[in-house]
Structures are given as structure tokens and as C-alpha cells.
């Protein structure tokens, strides 16, 4: 069975929103945005709001983490997939479930209680750090980049 054509997987706690998704989608040439998120998969209102922000010529899917694991290998080669998750833990669940993620772009991870700022738009807690370490251990290449045109920030700070 052929591997699914996953162009990029991105962590962004806003999931699909405005310019960022539009820029990434066109830069990587994706024709399918797959939001892998348990809460959004069960929330048609949030899906409608995200559909309004998604590029018009790109398909969107909202799957739970488990459904993504279950169906990703059925993707057609013509589907150029951009996966968006909310947390590093969700990305790790996908990888452990057999989703062939080779590169993980770390976008927005908001500052909140118990988190520390490690990059311009990235705040982590100990669970995030453990998930990033496990992802690296699984051979996933990590990069921090907000939009395609900005330089990549060092990921070593994620593990401090």
C-alpha cells in the first residue's frame, strides 16, 4: 500500500485560521487540509468557522486523532495532505498510531498557566517537552516557523 502524501504536519493551537494557513497551503501545494482534533471533529460550529478561513480551492476534513490513524492510509495519491494538530501530544498520538509524519512544523503554541516561552510564538510545559523528545526519538524532524517566509528558529530550546 502506498504511503499517504503528507506534505506537512503543523502544530497550531488556532488550527485553521486566516493568512497563515493560506500561505502554508499555497507554499507546500496542499489540496487537502486535515484537522486532526478530537474536539473539533465533534463540533460542526467550529468546523464551519474554520471552513470560512480555509482557501476556497482546498478540501477540508475534520477527523478525531483515532479516525485520522484509521483512515490516513486510504488517502489517494492525488491528495496532497496538510495535517494540522493542536498540540505536540496529538502529533505524537498520530505517529504512535502509524501516521507517517516525517516533518513537524511548530507554529503557534499560546502562553498559558504552567508554560514557558521558548520561541517567539511557542510556549511549552513539561508534557509538551516530553512529546517533542518522543517525536524526535521516532525520527520526526522538528522546525519552528510561523509562516513560510520567516526563518526557522532553533528547536533545541524546546527541550530545555
Query: So which residues are the catalytic ones?
Result: 17
Q: Which residues of 118-143 are buried (b: 16+ CB within 10 A; e: fewer)?
A: bbebbbbeeebbebbebbeeeebebe
Q: How far apart are CA 43 and CA 41, in angstroms?
A: 6
Residue 3: all three cell numbers together: 504511503
Count the Cβ atoms, other than its own, within 10 Å of residue 19: 9
Amino acid at each position: 500500500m502506498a504511503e499517504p502524501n503528507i506534505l506537512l504536519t503543523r502544530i497550531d493551537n488556532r488550527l485553521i485560521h486566516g493568512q497563515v494557513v493560506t500561505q502554508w497551503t499555497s507554499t507546500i501545494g496542499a489540496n487537502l487540509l486535515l484537522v486532526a482534533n478530537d474536539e473539533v471533529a465533534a463540533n460542526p460550529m467550529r468546523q464551519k468557522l474554520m471552513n470560512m478561513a480555509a482557501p476556497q480551492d482546498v478540501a477540508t476534513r475534520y477527523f478525531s486523532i483515532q479516525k485520522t490513524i484509521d483512515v490516513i492510509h486510504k488517502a489517494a495519491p492525488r491528495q496532497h495532505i496538510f495535517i494540522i494538530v493542536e498540540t505536540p501530544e496529538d502529533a505524537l498520538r498520530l505517529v504512535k498510531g502509524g501516521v507517517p509524519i516525517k516533518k513537524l512544523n511548530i507554529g503557534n503554541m499560546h502562553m498559558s498557566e504552567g508554560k514557558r516561552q521558548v520561541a517567539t510564538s511557542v510556549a511549552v510545559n513539561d508534557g509538551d517537552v516530553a512529546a517533542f523528545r518522543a517525536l524526535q526519538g521516532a525520527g520526526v524532524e522538528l522546525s519552528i516557523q510561523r509562516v513560510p517566509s520567516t526563518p526557522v528558529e532553533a528547536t533545541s530550546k524546546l527541550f530545555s
